[in-house]
């Protein structure tokens, strides 16, 4: 069951991982020194934002597996 779920949503999971890593690197290179920037103030914020954006970007390439 879990194997089928992972296979079905492989691109979305890959997008989450790639986006989270990209979010951390974005924080690392462009972090806000004053702490007033809502996304780049803390690394957790940029990791979550990157993971969501990565999932959304790669999710559009998944096919709908429903049979009609």
Domain assignment present for 17: yes
Predicted TM-score (pTM) of the model is: 0.80
When divided into structural domains, the chain yields a total of 1
66: in domain: no
Residue 48 inside a domain? The answer is yes
**SS3 letters for 3-64?**
HHHHHHCHHHHHHHHHHHHHHHHHHHHHCCCCCCCCCCCCHHHHHHHHHHHHHHHHHCCCCC
Instruction: Give per-residue pLDDT as tens, 8-59.
Output: 888 999 999 999 999 999 988 887 777 788 877 888 999 999 999 999 999 8
Tell me whether residue 64 is in a domain.
no
The answer to whether position 68 is within a domain reads no
Question: Residue 31 belongs to what domain range?
Answer: 2-59
Is 67 a member of any domain? no
């Amino acid at each position: 069951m879990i194997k089928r779920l992972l296979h079905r949503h492989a691109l979305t999971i890959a997008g989450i991982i790639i986006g989270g890593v990209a979010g951390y690197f974005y924080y690392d290179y462009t972090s806000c020194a004053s702490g007033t920037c809502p996304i780049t103030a803390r690394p957790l914020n940029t990791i979550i934002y990157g993971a969501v954006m990565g999932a959304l970007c790669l999710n559009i390439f998944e096919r709908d597996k429903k049979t009609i």
